[in-house]
C-alpha cells in the first residue's frame, strides 16, 4: 500500500477524534443533491447525464492508484457506517457502474455483460490493490460500442423511416434488458432514432398549428415537407451528442467510477474532481471569483449569453451578450485559443482570483475583433439569497421570506450567511408591522448545518435545535445559545417533497417546539445525514504547486436527529397541514435510494414547548375545507394521478398516427392544468419599502423582482399558507 494511504488513515483518525471534541469543524456542510423536478418525457441516453456531471481534470496514471487508495481509506476511517469491502460490495459496483455508463441499454450487449462478469466478485480485491482492471475493461468495450452506435445512428438518419408500421419502443431503462448482440443493438438504435424524428415532427406540427391560430398567411407544410427537416434536426442533435461524448477523457469516466463506489456507501458520500468542488463552493456560498458573464457553447463557439448586473464585466462595460470569445489571456501572458474548446475548460481559463486580470479576445456581432481587459472580482449570485415580500391579506399584512438554500461563506471575510440574512429580513418585516411570517423552504435542498442551527434560534429562546450522532459515539445536542428571540409572532413554514437536509432540521425543530405550523406535501425529502469535505491533496506529499490535484471527498460522518428523538432520515418531516401536490404519487426522496442509511431513533433532548396560542386542529379543518372547495387544488389532485400514469406508461408507439394521438392527448391534459396558475392576482403581494433602492439598481434587478412577485401572485400554495397564518392567533 502506498505510504500516503497510511498518512491518510492517521490524518482522518486525528480529524475524527478532534471532531468528537469540537463538532463545529465537521459540520461545515450538510448537503443534499439539488432536487430535480420530476418530468415525464422521452428517455434520453444516460450518457448525456453522466458525461457532464464532472468537469475534465488531468490525472497521470501513476496517481490513479494513490487516488483510489485515499478514497477507500478515507471512507473506512470516518464514514458513519462503512460497508465491508467484500464480494457483495463488488457486485454492487459491477451493477451500478454499468448502469451509469449505459442506463438505457443502448451501448452494451448481453455478450459484453457476460464478458465482464468475470470481474463481478473481484472488484473488491482490485480496490484493495488500487487496481482498475474492471474499469479499464468496461471502458475498452464502451469505446468500441460508442463508435458503433454513432455509425448506426448516422446511417439510419440518411433515409426516411416507415411510420406506418405497428411497433413501439420502451424508454425506461429499468424495464429493459441488454440486447443479445450487435445486430439487435442496431435495431434498438433504429427505433430510438425513429422516435427522435417523431418528436421533431410532432413539435413542428404543434408550432405550425399555433402559427395558424394567429395568422391566416402561414404556409401549411405537409408531412412530406416536414419529414426531411425533422430528420436533419435529429441528425444535428445526434452529431452534437457524440461530439460531446468524444470530448470526454479517461479521467472523466474515472471520476464517475470513483463516485459510483462512493455512492454505494450512501447517496451523499461523493468524490469531487477539483473543478466540481469549485462549483459546489459557488453553490453553497452564492459567490464566485470571476468576470460575471454567463456563457453558452453553440455551434463550436463560446458565446456570451448575459452579463451579471454589478459584476466586473458589467462595470468594465465592453463585453456584451452575443459576443463570441476567441481566446483568453492571463494578464500579459500569451492568450490561449478557446475556439472548439469544451465549455467547462474555457470557463476554468476565464475564472480566477479577485484582483487578477484576464484579457478576452472577442468577436462582436458585426464581425469586429476586440481585446477586452477585465479585472476579476467577486460575482454575487442574487438568486441564491433570501428574499422577502409583503402579502396584503384583507386588513392584515403578512411577511413572506423565500430561502432557496442554506448558504454560508466559510472562508470569506465578508461573505453572506443565510441565518444572518433571514435575521435582516425578519427585522425589515417587523418594521412593516406584519401580523405573521411565512418562511418558504420549498425546493430548498439544504446546505450548511451550522446555518440551520443559527436560524432556528431566531424564532425561539435558547434551546436545542438538532441532535447529531457521530460514528460509534453518543449524540451531541446542537443548541441555540442566545436567549433573545428575533421574531415571536405567528410562523408558518412551507415545505414540499424537495425540502431536504438543513431545511428539514428547521421544519422539524419548529414543529417539535410547536413554534410553527408546517404546511406542504405528504412528506419532505428524508435526508438525515451530515457530510464533511476533505481535500485529498492534504494527505499526500507534493513536490510543488504544479502537482496534480486529486480532488475532494465528501463523506457522511454523522446522522442527525430531531429534538424529539426521531430522525428525518428516509421518513422526512410530515407537515401539520397537508395540501395536494402534483408529485404525490411519484416515488421520490431518500427512501428510494437502495444505498441510503436506515431510519432509527434516540432519546429526546430536553426542551420546553413554545407557548403556542393557535388551535392546530381548527387550522387543519379550515384548510381541508378550503382545499376541498378549490377548483385549483382539485386540478392538482387530477394532475397527480395523470403524472403517475404518464410515469408508468413508458412505451411509445412508433406509428405516426398513434404517436401523434398520444401527444395530442397529453397536450390537452397539460393545457387543462394551466388553470392551476391562471389567476395572476390570487395573492396581493408587494416589495418591502426598505428594498426599493436595491430593486431599482438597474433594469436587471427590476426585471428579477418583477418575476419574483409575478410567481407569488399566482401561487395557490402561498395563498393557502397566508389564510392559515391569518387564522393563527
278: closest CA among 356, 357, 376, 344? 344
428: closest CA among 691, 148, 645? 691
Assigned C-alpha cell, 18 = 478532534
List, in sequence order, the alpha helices (H) in 439-549: 449-456, 502-512
Q: How far apart are CA 121 and CA 127, in angstroms?
A: 12
Most distant pair of Cα atoms in the chain: their distance? 77
Which of 252, 512, 581, 642 is catalytic? The answer is: 512
Question: Within 10 Å of residue 481's Cβ, how many Cβ atoms?
Answer: 8
Q: How far apart are CA 510 and CA 514, in angstroms?
A: 6
b/e per residue, 31-42, with b = 16+ CB within 10 A?
Answer: bbeebeeeeeee
b/e per residue, 196-214, with b = 16+ CB within 10 A?
Answer: bbbbbbbebbeeeeeeeee
Q: How far apart are CA 404 and CA 463, in angstroms?
A: 25
Q: Supply φ then ψ for residue 408, to 5 degrees.
A: -160, 140
268: closest CA among 23, 79, 47? 79
Q: What is the DSSP letter of 499?
A: -
Residue with cell 454560508: 408
383: closest CA among 682, 689, 685, 700? 700
Q: Supply φ then ψ for residue 654, to 5 degrees.
A: -105, 10
> What SS3 state is found at 386?
coil
Residue 436: its H or E element: strand 436-440
Q: Write the burial class of residue 530 (CB in 10 Å: 0-12 exposed, 13-18 middle, 19+ buried).
A: buried
Q: How far apart are CA 252 and CA 53, in angstroms?
A: 9
447: left (phi over 0), alpha (psi -120 to 50) or beta: left
Q: How far apart are CA 626 and CA 635, in angstroms?
A: 14
Which of 105, 277, 527, 559 is catalytic? The answer is: 527
Q: CA 263, 266, 270: angle at the middle one, nearest 5?
A: 40
Residues 6+ away with beta carbon under 8 Å from 578: 519, 520, 521, 522
Q: Write the burial class of residue 608 (CB in 10 Å: 0-12 exposed, 13-18 middle, 19+ buried).
A: exposed
Residue 512 designated active-site: yes
Residue 527 designated active-site: yes
Q: Are 525 and 63 in contact (CB under 8 A)?
A: no
> What SS3 state is found at 446?
strand
Residue 175 designated active-site: no
DSSP string, 600-613: -B-PPPP-------
Contacts 24+ apart (CB under 8 A), 350-354: 350/290, 350/291, 350/293, 350/295, 350/325, 351/278, 351/288, 351/289, 351/290, 351/291, 351/376, 352/289, 352/290, 352/376, 353/289, 354/289, 354/378
Which of 30, 418, 501, 552 is catalytic? The answer is: 501
Question: Within 10 Å of residue 383's Cβ, how many Cβ atoms?
Answer: 10
Angle of helix 133-156 relative to helix 87-101, nearest 10 degrees? 20
Assigned C-alpha cell, 235 = 441528425
Q: Are 567 and 587 in contact (CB under 8 A)?
A: no
Q: Are 587 and 525 in contact (CB under 8 A)?
A: no
Which sequence positions are flagged as catalytic? 501, 512, 527
Amino acid at each position: 500500500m502506498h505510504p500516503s494511504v497510511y498518512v491518510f488513515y492517521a490524518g482522518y483518525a486525528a480529524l475524527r477524534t478532534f471532531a468528537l471534541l469540537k463538532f463545529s469543524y465537521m459540520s461545515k456542510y450538510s448537503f443534499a443533491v439539488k432536487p430535480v423536478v420530476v418530468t415525464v418525457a422521452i428517455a434520453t441516453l444516460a450518457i448525456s447525464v453522466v458525461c457532464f456531471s464532472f468537469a475534465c481534470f488531468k490525472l497521470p496514471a501513476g496517481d490513479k492508484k494513490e487516488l483510489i487508495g485515499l478514497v477507500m481509506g478515507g471512507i473506512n476511517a470516518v464514514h458513519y457506517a462503512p460497508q465491508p469491502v467484500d464480494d457483495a460490495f463488488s457486485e454492487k459496483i459491477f451493477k451500478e457502474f454499468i448502469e451509469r455508463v449505459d442506463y438505457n441499454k443502448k451501448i452494451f450487449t448481453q455478450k459484453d455483460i457476460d464478458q465482464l462478469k468475470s470481474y463481478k466478485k473481484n472488484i473488491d480485491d482490485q480496490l484493495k490493490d488500487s487496481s482498475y482492471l474492471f474499469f479499464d475493461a468496461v471502458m475498452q468495450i464502451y469505446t468500441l460500442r460508442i463508435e458503433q452506435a454513432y455509425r448506426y445512428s448516422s446511417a439510419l438518419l440518411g433515409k426516411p423511416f416507415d411510420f406506418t408500421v405497428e411497433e413501439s419502443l420502451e424508454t425506461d431503462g429499468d424495464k429493459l434488458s441488454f440486447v443479445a448482440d450487435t445486430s439487435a443493438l442496431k435495431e434498438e438504435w433504429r427505433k430510438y432514432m425513429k422516435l427522435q424524428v417523431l418528436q421533431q415532427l410532432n413539435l413542428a406540427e404543434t408550432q405550425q398549428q399555433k402559427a395558424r391560430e394567429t395568422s391566416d398567411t402561414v404556409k401549411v407544410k405537409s408531412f412530406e415537407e416536414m419529414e426531411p427537416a425533422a430528420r436533419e434536426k435529429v441528425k444535428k442533435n445526434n452529431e452534437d451528442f457524440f461530439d460531446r461524448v468524444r470530448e470526454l477523457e479517461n479521467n472523466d469516466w474515472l471520476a464517475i467510477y470513483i463516485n459510483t463506489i462512493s455512492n454505494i456507501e450512501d447517496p451523499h458520500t461523493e468524490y469531487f474532481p477539483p473543478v466540481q468542488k469549485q462549483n459546489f463552493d459557488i453553490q453553497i456560498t452564492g459567490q464566485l471569483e470571476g468576470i460575471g458573464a454567463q456563457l453558452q457553447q453553440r455551434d463550436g463557439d463560446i458565446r456570451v449569453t448575459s452579463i451579471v448586473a454589478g459584476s466586473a464585466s458589467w462595470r468594465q462595460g465592453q463585453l456584451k451578450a452575443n459576443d463570441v470569445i476567441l481566446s483568453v489571456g492571463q494578464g500579459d501572458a500569451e492568450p490561449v485559443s478557446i475556439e472548439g474548446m469544451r465549455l467547462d475548460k474555457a470557463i476554468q481559463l476565464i475564472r480566477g482570483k479577485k484582483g487578477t486580470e484576464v484579457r478576452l479576445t472577442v468577436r462582436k456581432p458585426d464581425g469586429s475583433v476586440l481585446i477586452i481587459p477585465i479585472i476579476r472580482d467577486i460575482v454575487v449570485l442574487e438568486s441564491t439569497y433570501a428574499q422577502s415580500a409583503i402579502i396584503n391579506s384583507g386588513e392584515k399584512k403578512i411577511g413572506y421570506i423565500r430561502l432557496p438554500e442554506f448558504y454560508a461563506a466559510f472562508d470569506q471575510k465578508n461573505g453572506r450567511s443565510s441565518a444572518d440574512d433571514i435575521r435582516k429580513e425578519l427585522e425589515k418585516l417587523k418594521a412593516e408591522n406584519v401580523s405573521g411570517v411565512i418562511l418558504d423552504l420549498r425546493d430548498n435542498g439544504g446546505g450548511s448545518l451550522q446555518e440551520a442551527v443559527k436560524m432556528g434560534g431566531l424564532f425561539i429562546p435558547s434551546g436545542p435545535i438538532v441532535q447529531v450522532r457521530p460514528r460509534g459515539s453518543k449524540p451531541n445536542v446542537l443548541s441555540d445559545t442566545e436567549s433573545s428571540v428575533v421574531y415571536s409572532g405567528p410562523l408558518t413554514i412551507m415545505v414540499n417533497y424537495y425540502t431536504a437536509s438543513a431545511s428539514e432540521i428547521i421544519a422539524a425543530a419548529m414543529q417539535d417546539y410547536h413554534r410553527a405550523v408546517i404546511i406542504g406535501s405528504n412528506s419532505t425529502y428524508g435526508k438525515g445525514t451530515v457530510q464533511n469535505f476533505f481535500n485529498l491533496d492534504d494527505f499526500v506529499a507534493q513536490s510543488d504547486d504544479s502537482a496534480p490535484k486529486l480532488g475532494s471527498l465528501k463523506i457522511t460522518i454523522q446522522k442527525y436527529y430531531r429534538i424529539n428523538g426521531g430522525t428525518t432520515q428516509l421518513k422526512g418531516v410530515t407537515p401539520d397541514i397537508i395540501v395536494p401536490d402534483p408529485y404525490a404519487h411519484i416515488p421520490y426522496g431518500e427512501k428510494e435510494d437502495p444505498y441510503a442509511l436506515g431510519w432509527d431513533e434516540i432519546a429526546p433532548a430536553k426542551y420546553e414547548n413554545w407557548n403556542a396560542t393557535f388551535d392546530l386542529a381548527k387550522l387543519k379543518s379550515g384548510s381541508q375545507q378550503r382545499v376541498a372547495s378549490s377548483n385549483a387544488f382539485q386540478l392538482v389532485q387530477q394532475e397527480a394521478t395523470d403524472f403517475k400514469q404518464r410515469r408508468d406508461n413508458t412505451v411509445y408507439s412508433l406509428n405516426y398516427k398513434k404517436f401523434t394521438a398520444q401527444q395530442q392527448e397529453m397536450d390537452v391534459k397539460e393545457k387543462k392544468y394551466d388553470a392551476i396558475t391562471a389567476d395572476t392576482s390570487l395573492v396581493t403581494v408587494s416589495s418591502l419599502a426598505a428594498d426599493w433602492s436595491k430593486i431599482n439598481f438597474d433594469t436587471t434587478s427590476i426585471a428579477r423582482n418583477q418575476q419574483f412577485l409575478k410567481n407569488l401572485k399566482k401561487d395557490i400554495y402561498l395563498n393557502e399558507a397566508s389564510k392559515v397564518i391569518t387564522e393563527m392567533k
